[in-house]
Structure 1
Amino acid sequence: MSKKNLKEIVYDSVLNSIYSSEYRANEIITETSLIQKYGYSKSPIREALTALCHEGVLKNIPRCGYQVIALTSEDVQKMLEYRMVLETGMLRLCFDTITEKQLLHLDELSSLCSKNTEDVMEHWIYNMDFHIALLSLGGNDYACTQLKSCMNMLWRAYAQLHWNKWSHYNIPADMKYHDLILDAIRQKRLEDAIHYLKEDLNDFGTSSS
């Protein structure tokens, strides 16, 4: 694996700080504060912030700084509707060609999703890996890239909307549909697999309330 350059280090760090709610929605981040924090020159700091602006994470406000773009419950609903169409549609397309080897890999990912951990971000990454692997059975790399982007944005939205609920997040309960999806696929029950996938997506975040 290649070593990250300074821009990538700053980019990942700022993004993780948004995911962890260190930087809250609408908060202003300045180049000066990041230069002081990391001890790097202005160039990699600005490059990282510019990249985050291009991806819709930050908004450049001249003579002020970079504002963390706020996501709303309506944004979350639209992203979940998109995931519903994308993931169920792809499952229908590839259902008859799914192999036992592929299902065993998904079993492993599902087990990781249910493992005991207090790291909510680690859990979310396992969950994202499961859904991307399920979608990848359709052989469409573009769709997988779009799903990953959508799930990253959902994570950011959830961190903003429910930052005070992390300590009450019920990790194992949040993944209860994964095994049901895989069992239905093994038993060649397409509509049941689609049903459980929809339930899994509709269950987004409700285990924390």
Structure 2
Amino acid sequence: MKEETSDTLKKQVYDALFSDIIKGAYNIDTILTEKFLMEKYGVSRAPIREALTQLTGAHILASIPRQGYKILQPSEEELIEIIKFRSALECSFLENNFMFINKDCIRELRASCADYAKCPANDFMSHWYCNIQFHLKLFSMYGNHYAYRLLEEALNIQTIFFVQKKFGATMDLHLAFVDYLERGDIVTAASLLRADIDRLLVPANPPTPVEQNK
């Protein structure tokens, strides 16, 4: 990786490392060391350490004393908590800030849906990435930087879980959501947004049938 200005290099290292993590380049049991990452990305210790610190703060990595860093493996319980948090956060912000969404915003959201439609049918990561970009694009329109970072962090953790479990991501409700949003029907739009987020609560294993008394 070419040496550039300090801030630019830090961002490049962070982006490259995070991209490799979510693409499954590292096994979940891999211990990442500063020395290994310095050699892999061809940079000095400082930007590697900065990237590791950021990813640890975002709950993507965990520091193991005297060993290195391990990719965190979110549990299904943590995933449920994140989804419920997202549902409350995204829907409440929509209901309280919908008046700031103008025609240009609607066009951008439709463009995001169009990007999803272009993804190859079997490209899991592209579908999930488009899904993330749609939700972040919508939330960015509210202008709350702190809440945006919280949502971004939650989506990052979800990404790790979905990559590990190979879950799919669909945007079937996004176009309908944009249609109702454009009409000004915020109640229906919020219901569709909540349904889009909550659909990820479907359990990985089928439920055990209840035994009926004979």
When normalised by structure 2's length, the TM-score is 0.78
Structure 2 CA distance for partners of 1:11 and 1:140, relative to 1, 3 Å: closer
Structure 2 CA distance for partners of 1:13 and 1:139, relative to 1, 3 Å: closer
The list of structure 1 runs, each at least 4 consecutive aligned residues, that deviate by more than 6 angstroms after superposition, is none
Q: How does 1:80-119 map to 2 (within 5 A)?
A: 80-117=83-120, 119=123
| 1:173-208 Cα deviation digits (max 9, x unpaired) | x000001111112333222112211111122386x9
Residues 26 and 70 of structure 1 are in contact (CA less than 8 Å); yes or no, is this contact kept in structure 2? no
Structure 2 CA distance for partners of 1:33 and 1:181, relative to 1, 3 Å: same
- Amino acid in structure 2 at the alignment position of 1:23: Y
**Correspondence 1:199 to 2:195:** yes
- Unaligned 5+ residue runs, structure 2? 206-214
- 2: CA distance between counterparts of 1:45 and 1:93? 40
Equivalent residue in structure 2 for 1:123, among 124, 127, 138 = 127
Deviation at residue 78 of structure 1 after TM alignment: 0.8
- Unaligned 5+ residue runs, structure 1? none
Report the more deviating stretch, 191-200 or 19-28.
19-28
Structure 2 CA distance for partners of 1:28 and 1:102, relative to 1, 3 Å: same
May I ask how many residue pairs the two structures share in their alignment? 199
- 1: CA distance between counterparts of 2:51 and 2:136? 26
Residues 177 and 192 of structure 2 are in contact (CA less than 8 Å); yes or no, is this contact kept in structure 1? yes
Paired residue secondary structure (2:27): coil
Structure 2 CA distance for partners of 1:9 and 1:185, relative to 1, 3 Å: closer
C-alpha RMSD of matched pairs (Å): 2.7
Equivalent residue in structure 1 for 2:180, among 184, 191, 196 = 184
Residues 80 and 201 of structure 2 are in contact (CA less than 8 Å); yes or no, is this contact kept in structure 1? no
- Amino acid in structure 2 at the alignment position of 1:188: G
